[in-house]
Structure 1
Amino acid sequence: MSAELVWFAAGLIGAGLLAGFVGGLFGIGGGVVVVPALYFVLTALGVPEDIRMHVAVGTSLSTIISTSWRSLAAHTKAGAVDYDILKAWAPWITVGALLGAVAAGFASTEVLLIVFGAGLLLIAAQMGLGTPDWRVAQAMPTGAPRAALGGGIGFFSAMMGIGGGAFGVTLMTLCGRPIHRAVATASGFGAAIALPATLGYVVAGWGREGLPPYSLGFVSVPGLLALAALTAITAPVGARLSHRLPQLTLKRAFAGLLALVALNMLREALS
């Protein structure tokens, strides 16, 4: 095995184990960990600058296909998913995800870094400062606001490489949905985003020069397989620890770390 593949494998192992643990501990998608980790691994491996963020985002989205559907099935079995919300919002989220993948195919690495960094700062602020008791409405939006917000969740999640859970949970709790229902229903948002967005990244990156070994467009197949397996190992560990550790303190500390990662990504884009 070449040194390049050894380093790529080591980076995938670290990102996968950490992403699964963080997802289980805090209930957020692993994309917030996987994307920056993969970006810096691909940088170290010398993947061309103009495609490395695309590969990181596309590969992250591909891992969400299976995890989001497994999560949705588990929440459905527990009776926690609000399917009225999911059925009304999923079409708009899917359209937004497709548009986001198309836009990413034309976007530069700098643009994707700025979108990811800005979005991650918002997620960090919500984790560190927000509370489930905040409300701006007593019901979910309908009509044109639903189309705009749903499309926006899909669009920016596809450009960031995340499942939409962070945005979806925040929106639903602000609109009066209980936190456990919001988390369960938002797992369906990930299912609506991941497959169409991944296919978009495959098509957008097909035949591009400088891709990592064994890639389908902007999706690294070894990355998909390794990350999917590794996150499944550590997610239950994080979930068990979430009931034993001081969640508020941990969330605020992790929010601070996410903010630093976000600022570093923005620095990469602007330097």
Structure 2
Amino acid sequence: MEWFVLISIGLAAGTIGSLIGLGGGVIIVPSLLYFSMYTNFLHNISPQVAVGTSLVIMIFTGLSSTLAYLKHKTVDYKSGLIFFLGSGPGGMVGAWVNQALNMQTFNIFFGIFMIFVSILLMVNNKLKPMPLNADNGIHRHFTDNRGREWEYGFRPMMAIIIAFLVGFSSGLFGIGGGSLMVPVMLLLFMFPPHVAVATSMFMIFLSSIVSSATHISLGNINWHYALLLIPGAWVGARLGAYINMKLASKTVVHILRFILILVGLRLIYQGITG
């Protein structure tokens, strides 16, 4: 039965992640913890193992997305590598801090984080990008497939600091980080949307490797569960892309926001009463 549960979790995480570009970790981590605590299907999953295992899955989803965006030439590698200078060390620090959290503390912090992500999804489309500052250290130009010209840029030090915080949250909670990095790239750095998503996935792929390596060194990976999650996540990503073409994106975001708030509140409640 456990193989069915894990493939289903991977399928759900991959589908949701592909639908709106949100890291599948927000599905994988709470699902693993729930089935470990309240059912007999999965056993002995601590917050550390749930996070470490989730980050291994993020490597494959990040790689799959990056390879797909390669065909459309929307990955800004130079910017992605600059972001990785922050997200890589951030992921390592987050993984080490994760070791200090017990189940109750982890549930409270992760629940608060999920509610924060849901609020970010609420206001993301209502915020307007900041005007591009001519003094920004790095400038980029991009022409999309419709011939539209885009100009964007950022200060490297500011970008590295923000990416460090994103990487820290990834290593701490086992999420991909795209839910945080993409809005930053759109609103602060004025990235074209398709370039922001593609470049974020490239950064997530790299930082997940570093975060996973740290969790591996700490013994936080359940390889049996990871191998069962990966196929579901891979198929789910393809399924999510198909559904995305059929379902209005606003509907998907509304559904996900509702789910994140409910799960976040439940985790906080478990942490307080546990």
| Structure 1 length-normalised TM | 0.85
Matches within 5 A, 1:100-111: 100-111=94-105
Aligned residues: 251
Question: What are the Cα deviations for residues 205-261 of structure 1, in whole angstroms up to 9, with x where unaligned?
Answer: xxxxxxxxxxxx221112111111111112212111111112112211221111111
* Matches of 2:72 and 2:127, distance apart in 1: 23
Higher relative contact order (CA 8 A, sep 6+): 2
Who is 1:114 aligned against? 108
Give the CA deviation at 1:172: 0.5
Aligned to 2:148: none
**Alpha-carbon distance in structure 1 between the residues aligned to 2:180 and 2:11:** 23
Cα distance in 1 for residues equivalent to 2:156 and 2:63: 27
Q: Secondary structure at the match of 2:85?
A: helix
Note closer, same or farther for the CA distance 1:24–1:172 as it changes in structure 2 (3 Å cut): same
Q: Is the 8 A contact 1:15 1:37 kept in 2?
A: yes
- Residue 145 (str. 1) matches residue 158 (str. 2): yes
Question: For 2:6, what is the secondary structure of its paired residue?
Answer: helix
Q: How does 1:11-22 map to 2 (within 5 A)?
A: 11-22=5-16
* Aligned-partner Cα distance in 2 for 1:119–1:137: 28
Q: Tell me, in whole angstroms, the C-alpha distance in 2 between the residues paired with 1:102 and 1:228.
A: 24
Check conservation: 1:136, 1:174, Cα contact below 8 A.
yes
The answer as to 2:74 corresponding to 1:80 is yes
Determine if contact 2:82/2:156 at 8 Å carries over to the other structure: no
* Conserved? CA contact 2:87–2:167, under 8 Å: yes
Any runs of at least 4 consecutive aligned residues in structure 1 with deviations exceeding 6 A, and if so which? none
The one of 203, 209, 229 equivalent to 2:217 is 203
**Is the 1:164–1:189 contact (alpha carbons within 8 Å) kept by the matching residues of 2?**
no
Other structure's SS at 2:14 match = helix
8 Å CA contact 1:89–1:147 kept in 2: the answer is yes
The answer to whether the aligner puts 1:190 opposite 2:192 as a matched pair is no
Q: Which moved more, 1:155-164 or 1:110-119?
A: 110-119
Deviates more, 1:76-85 or 1:152-161: 76-85
Instruction: Report if aligned partners of 1:11, 1:38 keep a CA contact under 8 Å in 2.
Output: no
Alignment of 1:97 with 2:91, yes or no, is yes
Contact 2:82 2:160 in 1 (8 A): no
Instruction: Write the deviation string for residues 15-69 of structure 1: whole angstroms up to 9, x where unpaired.
Output: 1121122122222221111111111111134856xx6211111111011112212
Aligned counterparts of 1:19 and 1:202: Cα–Cα separation in 2: 22
Counterpart position of 1:173: 186
Q: Tell me which residue corresponds to 2:221.
A: 219
Change (3 A) 1:244 1:76: same
Tell me the residue number matched to 1:160: 173
2:230 aligned to which of 228, 249, 259: 228
Distance, in Å, in 1 between the alignment partners of 2:261 and 2:272 is 16
Distance in 1 (CA, whole Å) between partners of 2:71 and 2:15 is 23
Structure 2 residue runs without a partner (length 5+): 133-151
Distance 2:212 2:13 in 1: 19
Distance 1:201 1:150, change over 3 A: same
Separation in structure 2 between the aligned mates of residue 227 and residue 251 of structure 1, nearest angstrom: 24
Q: Percent of aligned positions with the same letter in both sequences?
A: 27
Residue 114 of structure 1 and its aligned partner are, at CA, apart by 2.7
Once the two structures are TM-superposed, the CA of residue 132 in structure 1 deviates from its matched residue by 7.4
1:163/1:189 contact within 8 Å kept: no
Q: Describe the shift of the 1:28–1:146 C-alpha distance in structure 2 as closer, same or farther (beyond 3 A).
A: same
For 1:14, give the aligned amino acid.
S
